[in-house]
Amino acid sequence: MGSIRSLVLMQLMILLNVILTVKASTPSVAKPGCRSHCGDVIIPYPFGTGGDCNITEQFLITCNTSFIPNKAFLGNGNLEVINISTDGQLRILCDTGYDCYNTSNRNLLFHGLRLLEFSINNNKNKFTAIGCDTSAVVQGFYGKRYATGCLSFCNNITDVSNGSCSGIGCCQTSIPKDVRSYKISFGSYANHTNVLPENPCSYAFVAEVDSYTFSASDLRGFEFQSRRFPITLDWNIGNTSCNEANMDVNNFACKEYNINECESLSPCNGTARCTNLPGTYNCSCPVGYEGDGKKSGTGCSLPDKDPSSKTSLTVVALGICLAAGFLLFLAGVWWLYRKLEKRRNIKRKQEHFKRNGGLLLEKKLSSKEGGVENIKFFTSKELQTATDHYNENRILGRGGQGVVYKGMLHDGRIVAVKKSKIVDQVHLDPFINEITEVPLLVYEFIPNGTLSQLIHDQNEEYPRSWDMRLRIAAEVSNAISYLHSSASVPIYHRDIKSSNILLDEKFRAKSSQFTEKSDVYSFGVVLVELLTAQKPVLTSGSLEQKSLISYFISSVDQNHLLDTLDPQVFKDGQKEELVAVAYLAKRCLNLDGKDRPTMKEVAMELERIRVLQGFFPTQPKPAEVVVTKPTEIGYFTSSSKGFYKDSIITSVSDVHPLMSDTF
């Protein structure tokens, strides 16, 4: 460890020697014992910061330490010095003169500069004026009086060219040699009235040639008033320039003053090391000591391990503890927020669960009453996996309230997942009517399509027998009756139609699509479709018969029921059954809602028809008749075995318990 420390110290000493060597190569031009810098400005003799450091009062430099970094000013005035060269040149910053107008007032600053020992370098500086209604004059003294200036005009700011000072918006002129003072004055032909408010001011200044590039934006507003520009001044001692003083061996001006302060003055403390530098010296304390090393200063001493140092350590420790405590407080607040948010979410889920029949779901989950398959809850992650992250290729259909995806559960079961596209509360209720508030519903996958497809699409593989149709009608009516009468909160389907009745692999009915329309009347339409195998809207026939319902009711009222029946229904069913179902459909289609049966009554009558199916008297072997019935594209004639209209009419009384009146 000690060898590493020695190596580091050796490298630092080598680096210090290199720095001192480089500094020794740069001549020091400050008087010995005098301040050589003020901020970034080097102060060479004959300039100085007071006392014997400057040759005369005209070469006084005031170092203002209230600025960071410090700023140097010429004499006791406000001319900021930015560079002093031993080549006999001095650079200062000067304000801009201006002459500003508004509709009623004039604001004028006659800028000027008065110098005694310094002259303005005529090669490096120029007089510049800018404005669209401007005449600017600079006048002064260089052994005798002088005056010069320029004119700048423009009709509009858009007429000027950036970078050009040719008299349109900007003008320039040179100044005489050896000028030691000047004053700027302004004139205006129309008080800027022709160019207000775009150009309210005229500006003029003396500045270094390359320090300003004209821009049209300088003509607008009043911001240019605060601009300052550098001016290069020439300085000399008496009538001798700095170059001439350097050639005179008897003249001390502009020359380096360098003595060995360490040998002649011994300014450092006994334990400090003195290093002679060009024009000055440096005292450095040994490693482990502190202080400036000077006899007249704090010297060199070991760090004082008094109670104050312990106090500082205590303050540091206290600060660390406070910071750690604050961080722990923030962590506690965050933990508490997460805890409360989690509790609120749980409470919100419980409220949704209760509001949307959750207690009924729990009851169903705990029992298999009535052969109802248990309801299963899924997590959103499970459904995301089942649908391959809701892949577009898995879409089965789109509804008004959501999109249905085909999914496969982890046990291989195929399901249909409905994802809500409703986000605002106003439209959330229709989706809630589909049993849950959570915007994901899982149904068993229905492979045999809809009842509408079964009725209207010809498929010899699956014959549409009357028994199948009657069973489907009874199942649908029982389901709707349960929703109307047995659910804890009545649920109304309101869009019952054959395309919303799904058929599973055993052709059992599954109702879907809970939206806002009607129930009993719609079920009557389904019964008519089952009896006639026709779509609700016919594409041909008389005006009255374009609607299947109107055509059906008209046929029943005119004792022409046979004209509307599907040949397969006519062939398979018994006339009492057909008449009873037809009459029940007519009651459901009553235009006055008060005269319609309830879904419970409809379900009971259909179930009674199914139960009595074997007790109806067997009809005699039907005669060969020709049945003419409407289709979607016209009328067709087919040969079928059935009964005559008269036989239907005479048999109504046999099923009187199922109806309140006769055809």
- The CA angle 428-433-437, to the nearest 5 degrees, is 55
User: Across the strands, what pairs with 634?
Assistant: none
How far apart CA 416 and CA 24 sit, in angstroms, is: 89
How far apart CA 617 and CA 619 sit, in angstroms, is: 6
Cβ pair 146, 179 in contact under 8 A: yes
| Catalytic choice (133, 495, 566, 572) | 495
How far apart CA 517 and CA 449 sit, in angstroms, is: 22
Contacts of 556 (CB under 8 A, 6+ apart): 564, 582, 583, 586, 663
Can you list the positions of beta strands (E) in 519-617?
Answer: none
Contacts of 137 (CB under 8 A, 6+ apart): 147, 148, 149, 184, 185, 186, 187
User: Across the strands, what pairs with 627?
Assistant: 638
Q: Is 52 a catalytic residue?
A: no
Percent of the chain that is helix, strand, coil (3-state, to 5): 35, 25, 40
Secondary structure element (H or E) that encloses residue 5, with its range = helix 2-24
| Amino acid found at 134 | T
Q: What are phi and psi of 420, to 5 degrees?
A: -70, 145
Q: What are phi and psi of 132, to 5 degrees?
A: -100, -5
User: Which candidate, 84, 83, 172, 168, places its Cα nearest to that of 125?
Assistant: 172
Encoded tokens for 400: 């008004």
The CA distances from residue 47 to 84, 91, 117, 499, 638, in Å, are: 9, 13, 12, 104, 128
Half-sphere exposure of residue 465: CA atoms within 13 angstroms, side-chain side: 8
Encoded tokens for 607: 């179930």
How far apart CA 583 and CA 223 sit, in angstroms, is: 95
By annotation, the residues acting in catalysis are: 495
